[in-house]
Structure formats: structure tokens, C-alpha cells
């Protein structure tokens, strides 16, 4: 078995020779985040994927994220080191179910969270991420919108707009299982710490949080804040970049059990093998890609804060 240092240097050498870029989501294991050329939330990574001049994108995340890269970069080879790293929320809605919802609300624009399959994006008018969902819904200027697949993100948006939001009943099991009791326990244990929560958490948890942000939004907030202690209500992988960027501050998980098993499937050896073999490739079929691209492209037009 090779040691970690050797594996990392092999990956870097091969990535350089093959003009490959390694992107990693903020929930990946620390070794993978530390190795990546770029880390970020779903929005930052899709923007990066669209801008890179690399020939190969190694996407360390879950399947919908690699699909998103394939949607914005059809000419690049997009590789996901572990093919069965999926997203339970994305799998809660398929294209036919969305078509049925559209029939129930004729003419109402569909805003779809990036945590969705390419075929669902292809049935949608515009995409959003947790970083820009409120801006995207407002930008539609429509009195009513359909939001899929996350009911918690939809309810968060509903709190911030007069537009009527019809939500698909999907959720992230990891965030949705976080209870008010668990959060209050963490708050009692760390009085004075600022609660930062991801909008995939249930509404009653978000009620308690003065800071509701995407993963990169939390990183930015913690960096800029004068506060010294934070309770973090999202997947615990985010604690690594938070601590790394803020060695003088303290970060506590809202609940230790917030672990997305799919986000932890990718290891250094998987990255090395995928670079050597240039598989598994994620390629969205062109007729779906063109439609899904329009929804992602529209999202990119929405001004960001």
C-alpha cells in the first residue's frame, strides 16, 4: 500500500500531464479537499467548471454535481471518481413527476435546485442553488413559482417573498433529520456561539438561526465575522474548511450525526484510479443537456450579492 504522500504526488503529476482540474465540494473528506485545485459550494463549482480551460474535470462530489459540470462543459471529459456517490434528495424527483406537477400548475415557472438530476433540470425554467434561491425566485417576477425538489429550501424562500411557492415534497435526509432539540442542546452547551444553518434544514431549525447560508456562504460569514464561536447546522464536512480558514475561531457541529455517506465515498485512491483510467465519465445526453443548460444559463444571469 502506497503512503498518502506518494498517492498525492502521483495524482498531481498525472493531473498536470493530462491537463485535469480537481474540484471538490465543501463536504468531501479533508484529504480530498486539501488536494483539490478548487473547493466550494454547488454554485461556485458550477461556475468554475464553466470557466476552466482544463481538458478533464475530476469532480469530487455527488452525481448531480458532475452532471452539472457536464451540462456546462460538453466538450470536456467530466469524471466522478466514485460513480455511485449520489444525492438522496436529487433522487426524490424524476422528470415525469415534474411534468405532472407542471400540468397541475399550468404556465407557472419552475425553479429547480441544482441538487436535481439533469432530466429534471431539463424540465425546468431556471436553476438555483442554496446561495441564490431567493434572488432567483424574485428575478422570475412571476406571482407563482414551482420549486423543486427541496421543500425546506422552498419554505425558506417563501418566508422571503410575496410570490406563491408550490414546493415538491423532497428533502435532504441529513439536514431534514436535524431537530430543534438537538440544536437547543448545542446552544446550551455553547452559549454565545452564533448558529449558522443551511437552508436544507427544517423550517423550525431555520427559525432559530440568525445566519442561513450555503456552505460557501457560511465560510464567508465566519471569516468576516467578529464573533469567535459558531454552531454549524450542516453536513459536518464543512467543519474542516471552517477550522482551516479560521484557526483563531471555534466551530461546533449542531449535531454529530449530520454526515452524508455519499459525500464521504471518494478517497485519494479513487481519484488516482479515475485519473489513470479516465473513468467513470459522466456525460449528459445532448438533447437533455441543451434544455438543462438553458436553465443553468438563466441562473448565471441572475445578479449575485
Q: Sheet with 211-212: list strands edge to edge.
A: 211-212, 194-197, 229-233, 250-253
Using CB distances below 5 to 8 A depending on partner kind, what does residue 130 bind out of ligand 13P, ligand SF4, none? Answer: ligand 13P
| Cα-based distances in Å from 34 to 31, 64, 268 | 5, 22, 11
Using CB distances below 5 to 8 A depending on partner kind, what does residue 88 bind out of ligand 13P, ligand SF4, none? Answer: ligand SF4
The three cell numbers locating residue 101: 406537477
- Residues 215-254, mask of contacts with ligand 13P (x by CB under 6 A): x-------------------x-------------------
DSSP state of 304: P
Nearer to ligand 13P, 130 or 236 (CB): 130
**211 is an interface residue for ligand SF4 by CB under 6 A:** no
User: Is 109 in a helix, a strand, or coil?
Assistant: coil
Using CB distances below 5 to 8 A depending on partner kind, what does residue 46 bind out of ligand SF4, ligand 13P, none? Answer: none
Of residues 31 through 70, those in contact with ligand 13P by CB under 6 A are: 41-42
Give the count of residues interacting with ligand SF4 (CB under 6 A): 12
Q: How far apart are CA 244 and CA 138, in angstroms?
A: 35
- Beta-ladder partners of 59: 23
**116 is an interface residue for ligand 13P by CB under 6 A:** no
Among 28, 117, 129, 176, binds ligand 13P (CB under 6 A): 129
**At its nearest, how many Å lie between ligand 13P and the CB of residue 14?**
27
Q: How far apart are CA 290 and CA 7, in angstroms?
A: 37
Residue 104 sits at φ, ψ, to 5 deg, of -75, -20
**115 is an interface residue for ligand SF4 by CB under 6 A:** yes
Of residues 130 through 149, those in contact with ligand 13P by CB under 6 A are: 130
Q: Which of 204, 209, 246 is nearest to 229 (CA)?
A: 246
Structural Rg of the chain based on CA atoms: 19
**115 is an interface residue for ligand 13P by CB under 6 A:** yes
**At its nearest, how many Å lie between ligand SF4 and the CB of residue 220?**
19
- Residues 246-285, mask of contacts with ligand SF4 (x by CB under 6 A): --------------x-xx----------------------
**At its nearest, how many Å lie between ligand SF4 and the CB of residue 48?**
18
Pairing of strands 194-197, 211-212: parallel
Q: How far apart are CA 66 and CA 49, in angstroms?
A: 9
**At its nearest, how many Å lie between ligand 13P and the CB of residue 87?**
6
Distance of CA 158 to the CA centre of its chain: 20
Q: How far apart are CA 281 and CA 188, in angstroms?
A: 47
Among 35, 153, 172, 222, binds ligand 13P (CB under 6 A): 172
Angle, vertex CA 61, rays to CA 57 and CA 67, nearest 5: 60
- Residues 57-96, mask of contacts with ligand SF4 (x by CB under 6 A): -----x------------------------xxx-------
**At its nearest, how many Å lie between ligand 13P and the CB of residue 242?**
13
Q: Which of 6, 19, 9, 39 is nearest to 266 (CA)?
A: 39
Q: 202 and 152 in contact (C-beta within 8 Å)?
A: yes
Enumerate binding residues for ligand SF4 (CB under 6 A): 62, 87-89, 115, 172, 174, 200, 235, 260, 262-263
Enumerate binding residues for ligand 13P (CB under 6 A): 26, 41-42, 115, 129-130, 172, 200, 214-215, 235
Amino acid at each position: 500500500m502506497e503512503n498518502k504522500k506518494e498517492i498525492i504526488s502521483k495524482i498531481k503529476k498525472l493531473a498536470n500531464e493530462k491537463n485535469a482540474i480537481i474540484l471538490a465540494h465543501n463536504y468531501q473528506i479533508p484529504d480530498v479537499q486539501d488536494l483539490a485545485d478548487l473547493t466550494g459550494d454547488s454554485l461556485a463549482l458550477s461556475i468554475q467548471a464553466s470557466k476552466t480551460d482544463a481538458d478533464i474535470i475530476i469532480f469530487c462530489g455527488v452525481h448531480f454535481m458532475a452532471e452539472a459540470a457536464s451540462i456546462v462543459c460538453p466538450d470536456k471529459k467530466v469524471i466522478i471518481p466514485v460513480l455511485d456517490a449520489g444525492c438522496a434528495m436529487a433522487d426524490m424527483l424524476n422528470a415525469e413527476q415534474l411534468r405532472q406537477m407542471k400540468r397541475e400548475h399550468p404556465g407557472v415557472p419552475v425553479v429547480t435546485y441544482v441538487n436535481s438530476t439533469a432530466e429534471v433540470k431539463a424540465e425546468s425554467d431556471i436553476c438555483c442553488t442554496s446561495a441564490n434561491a431567493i434572488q432567483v425566485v424574485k428575478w422570475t417576477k412571476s406571482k407563482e413559482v414551482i420549486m423543486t425538489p427541496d421543500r425546506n429550501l422552498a419554505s425558506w424562500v417563501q418566508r422571503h417573498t410575496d410570490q406563491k411557492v408550490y414546493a415538491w415534497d423532497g428533502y435532504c435526509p441529513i439536514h431534514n433529520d436535524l431537530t430543534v432539540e438537538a440544536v437547543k442542546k448545542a446552544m446550551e452547551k455553547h452559549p454565545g456561539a452564533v448558529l449558522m444553518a443551511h437552508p436544507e434544514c427544517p423550517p423550525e431549525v431555520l427559525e432559530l438561526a440568525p445566519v442561513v447560508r450555503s456552505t460557501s456562504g457560511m465560510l464567508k460569514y465566519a471569516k468576516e465575522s467578529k464573533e469567535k464561536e459558531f454552531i454549524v447546522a450542516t453536513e459536518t464536512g464543512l467543519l474542516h474548511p471552517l477550522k482551516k480558514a479560521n484557526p483563531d475561531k471555534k466551530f461546533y457541529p449542531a449535531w454529530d450525526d449530520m454526515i452524508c455517506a455519499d459525500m464521504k465515498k471518494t478517497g485519494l485512491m479513487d481519484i488516482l484510479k479515475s485519473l489513470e483510467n479516465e473513468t467513470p465519465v459522466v456525460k449528459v445526453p445532448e438533447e437533455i443537456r441543451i434544455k438543462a443548460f438553458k436553465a443553468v444559463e438563466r441562473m448565471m444571469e441572475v445578479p449575485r450579492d
